[in-house]
Amino acid sequence: MEKEETVKLISSDGFEFIIDRKAAMVSQFLRNMLTSPGGFAETENGIVRFPEISTTILEKICQYFYWSRQYASGKETEFHIEPELTLELMMAANYLHT
């Protein structure tokens, strides 16, 4: 996969997630950041740091990006969320606007 096709998301504890750029676009926040015409260093490098989001939550978010794309293309599976994660995940989702 070419570099432009992916983006790197870094959690608060330094863990890196490399995902498809298209999947990241599920988040309105990332879409704006990655497609904005000028300025953001993130737009150039495709690296976004989330000092507020833990690895567990960021992993779940990435899973959601892929699930959401599948769901939109007609594969209607259920996205499982552990009740323990709901509060943190809710906040991250709200922040990422996804």
SS3 state of residue 48:
strand
Distance CA 12, CA 14 (A): 6
CB of 19 to other proteins, least distance (A): 15
Binding flag, residue 32, other proteins (CB under 8 A): no
* DSSP element (H, E) containing 45: helix 41-45
Query: Which of the ranges 5-13, 17-25, 34-42, 76-84 carries the binding residues for other proteins, by CB under 8 A?
Result: 76-84
User: From the list 14, 39, 51, 83, which residue makes contact with other proteins (rule: CB under 8 A)?
Assistant: 83
Binding flag, residue 89, other proteins (CB under 8 A): yes
